[in-house]
Structure 1
Amino acid sequence: MHVVAGVLVDGAGRILIAQRPPGKHLAGMWEFPGGKLEPGETPPMALERELDEELGIAVDPLSFEALVRIPWTYGDRAMLLEAILVRAWTGEAKALDAAEIRWADPRDIDPALLAPADRPILAATRLPSHYPITPPDVSVDDALALLASALARGERLLQLRLPGLPTEAVHGMVAQVLPELRALGATLLLNRDIEGARAFGEGVGVHLAASQLHQLDARPLPLSQVVAASCHNADELARAAALGCDFATLSPVQVTASHPGAEPLGWPRFARLAEAASLPVYALGGLGPDDGMEARLHAAQGVAGIRGFL
């Protein structure tokens, strides 16, 4: 079943969510407005029709921007949920087919209120286009300087990966930058360190290694903290989605100095894997900030990297 969802974004950056009415599957849960494609419809055509029927607004499909495609299964019902950003419309949105509609900042929406298939869409609205990762061989002072520089230029999602330093030193760094992270609404992910992320709470999450994915039985942190995972194939992407990770990195896309013996995926294979994943995916490996457009054209949320970003 092919379903299209509209992510309406107003001038204040708020998005619209709708509550499913009584009597429907997942009644009472919130979702992004939209519905099933009818025979002969393209996703833009279906979304234009659905938003007219459900909200009473007129939209221009030429202004649509693809956000993310989420394959999902509810019991024995399989579907492809295609989310499209909508930034321009005429008319005032009304709850014509929902129990209620609500405008909210994406950061203020509790993912637990959303239907499970809509949670990756919310994650995609929150995630930036860049995901810098600290070089693994820098000192504490250099790492702090790199983080400060990245935050100053607008980066809002970073990974702290310093395998050569003691855990106490890494946690000391986090304690120093945490007030600024929270003031800016930024997120710092600790590499592999679930307990550290749990202890720091707001503003800190964890980036799981691929080896951790099959060691866990459930999402290791609450929905209020970001969980990501390093993936290299379809099985790892599926496991990351099953654990409820907010996003994954998929690597290596190109030849990279950090893993010179690894066979690169290349963009076509990356796109096939990312489109089949049930969560947002960053392209990683031999890439820099200038590869962002290419990554978006191949189903990526954005690009991640080390020395090209920090």
Structure 2
Amino acid sequence: MTADPIYVVAGALSSGEDRFLMHLRPEEKAHGGLWEFPGGKVEPTEIPVEALIRELHEELGIVVEASACEPAGFAEDRRQSGQRPIVILLYTITDWIGEPRALEGGAVKWFSQSEIMELAKPPLDESLSARLFRA
């Protein structure tokens, strides 16, 4: 029997110029030095879009409205031997207030779709990128 999954939300922020924001994970964290869509864990009292709004404010210092978050897909791992699987829910976002900046370490940078496909990313972000950009 598999343990309850860990739900994570991520935002594919689009600049409107076919560029998307990616976050470089700090070296000391799991998957350190890899690029990911910004976001984080869903707390037990939150629905996913609320968690995304909170996480983007904490990580990037931006304000996002729920109406600007469009579900885009998900990716999951299937861990073995009782480890908790991870499910990432991805949303596209084209409207926010503020200039995104890395507030919790690492870095943020804008990339084209083809550049994102070439970045070193955690496995679930690889899956999300492939689905989002239909690669």
TM class by smaller structure: 0.7 to 0.9
CA distance in 2, matches of 1:101, 1:27: 14
Equivalent of 2:101, from 76, 94, 114?
A: 94
In structure 1, the partner of 2:131 is: 124
The answer to which structure has the higher strand fraction is 2
Q: Is the 8 A contact 2:117 2:130 kept in 1?
A: no
Q: Is the 8 A contact 1:30 1:113 kept in 2?
A: yes
Where structure 1 has 5 or more consecutive residues not aligned to the other structure, the ranges are: 128-225, 227-310
TM-score normalised by structure 1 residue count: 0.40
CA distance in 2, matches of 1:118, 1:51: 17
Answer yes or no: is 1:18 the counterpart of 2:23.
yes
In structure 1, the partner of 2:7 is: 2
| Number of residue pairs matched by the alignment | 128
CA distance in 2, matches of 1:92, 1:110: 24
The answer to which structure has the higher helix fraction is 1
Kindly report structure 1 stretches of 4+ aligned residues shifted beyond 4 Å: none
Write the letter of the residue equivalent to 1:123.
A
Q: Encode CA deviations 1:39-98: one digit per residue, 9 max, x unaligned.
A: 210010000000000000000111211101111146734111100011100000001113
Where structure 2 has 5 or more consecutive residues not aligned to the other structure, the ranges are: 1-5
CA distance in 2, matches of 1:74, 1:101: 29
SS of equivalent residue, structure 2 residue 51:
helix
CA distance in 2, matches of 1:111, 1:117: 15
In structure 1, the partner of 2:122 is: 115
CA distance in 2, matches of 1:11, 1:109: 16
TM-score normalised by structure 2 residue count: 0.88
SS of equivalent residue, structure 2 residue 30:
coil
If you compute each CA radius of gyration, which structure gives the higher value, 1 or 2? 1
Write the letter of the residue equivalent to 1:101.
V
Higher relative contact order (CA 8 A, sep 6+): 2
SS of equivalent residue, structure 2 residue 27:
coil
Please show how residues 23-42 of structure 1 align to structure 2 within 5 Å.
23-42=28-47
Write the letter of the residue equivalent to 1:88.
D
Write the letter of the residue equivalent to 2:45.
G
